Amino acid sequence: MTDTVGFEWALLGKEPGQREDYQILCAGGARLRPATLERIIQHFSPGSPAGERAGEPDALPWITFTAATSGETPYVGVAIREWPADPTRAVDATGRVVIPTRFFCLPLDDFRRHLGSFTALYEAVRVATVSHLRRLPEVTGGQALSLHPAASPPRREGALASPALRLLRGAVVTAALALDGPVVVRPVPELASHSARIAFLDLVAALLPAGAEGALAVGTWVDVATSHRLRVAFGQDLGGTGRQVDPTAPRGSARRTRTTNGLPATPPCWRT
């Protein structure tokens, strides 16, 4: 897994002082147009962050893994919504801090061949910072972003090394419930870091039938008070209602519905 991998990419945000809504500031790639990349980002939006929220369960970055199909080609992507490096300068016309989103995607076949996990995908693209992306059009002329994924992605601090039995049980219950519809995972201390949450999402995906990654949209955080299209994501307490799993003390069971590749026949997958 040391080959060069090409990614479609886009940066969603605002210029300083901008009055208009969020838009694509720059993008590149040979397969998908900037407008298509923007629609994918917006389709899988996890909601609007209240701020940086450092140290809180909903702290930025919010990392969302997307599943979309354009034409006949399925794509796996990752959107990284993060606090700006200098929030005093990154403000729009109303004085609000602009929270940019970096987005990267590649065909499902390339994802399986070169990466194979959400962790590997995130580790491959995390080095392409906002400032890096802003310079790319001058260097590449808007072409695809070429990166060299690590042969074995390093385990980030706070990530799962070998999941405890109770986390494995939580992943099993989450995967079972995901066959039937969206699931919210409670943000427990053992899964406080985004790296640990991504590792848990990888564990859930591994417990689903083969091919699920082509239809599975998941995230390290989602605002459950908003309408969203993520199948599995960490989120705030639902107040005793809805489909929420405590990964350290899972309860409940899942009903199996008519499926396609193990997921419901109409998965939350974006398609052009």
Does the pLDDT at position 243 exceed 90? no
Question: CB-based contacts of 236: which residues, under 8 Å, 6+ apart?
Answer: 57, 58, 187, 223, 224, 225
CA distance 267 to 251: 24
Residue 96 pLDDT exceeds 50: yes
Q: pLDDT band at 241, cuts 50/70/90?
A: low
Which span out of 33-47, 143-157, 161-175 was modeled with the highest average pLDDT? 33-47
For the chain, give the percent of residues with pLDDT over 70: 83
Check residue 149 and give its pLDDT: 85
pTM > 0.75? yes
Interval 179-187 mean pLDDT: 94
What token pair was written down for 43?
Answer: 């389709």
pLDDT computed for residue 130 by the predictor: 95
pLDDT band at 159; cut points 50, 70, 90: low
Segment 114-131 mean pLDDT? 94
Residue 142: left (phi > 0), alpha (psi -120 to 50), or beta? left
Residues near 3 by beta carbon (within 8 Å), at least 6 away in sequence? 114, 148, 149
DSSP assignment letter at 224: T
pLDDT at 271 over 80: no
In this predicted structure, what is the pLDDT of residue 211? 77
By DSSP bridging, strand 101-107 and strand 73-81 are: antiparallel
Residue 150, pLDDT score: 75
Q: Look at 101-105, 199-203, 206-210 and tell me which has the smallest mean pLDDT.
A: 206-210
Of the listed ranges 6-15, 63-72, 252-261, the one predicted with least confidence: 252-261
d(CA 189, CA 264): 31
Burial class (CB in 10 A: 0-12, 13-18, 19+), 251: exposed
244, 42, 64, 61 alpha-carbon torsion, rounded to 10°: -100
Beta strand pairing call for 5-13 and 23-28: antiparallel
- 52 in Cβ contact with 34 (< 8 Å): no
Distance CA 25, CA 70 (A): 22
Q: How far apart are CA 164 and CA 157, in angstroms?
A: 17
Q: What is the mean pLDDT of residues 35-47?
A: 97
Tokens of 71: 């034409």
More confident residue, 215 or 24: 24
Contact 7, 31 (CB under 8 A): no
More confident residue, 150 or 98: 98
Residue 148 pLDDT level (bands cut at 50, 70, 90):
confident
What pLDDT is recorded for position 242?
A: 62
> In the chain, pLDDT over 90 holds for what percent of residues?
69
226 pLDDT exceeds 90?
A: no
Dihedral class, residue 95 (left if φ above 0, else alpha if ψ from -120 to 50, else beta): left
What pLDDT, on the 0 to 100 scale, is given for residue 264? 44
User: How many angstroms separate the CA atoms of 69 and 267, rounded?
Assistant: 12
Return the residue matching tokens 């700006």: 84
- Please give the pLDDT value at position 254: 37
Q: Which residue has the higher pLDDT, 236 or 271?
A: 236
Handedness of CA 222, 241, 190, 176 (dihedral sign): negative
Average pLDDT over residues 75-79: 98
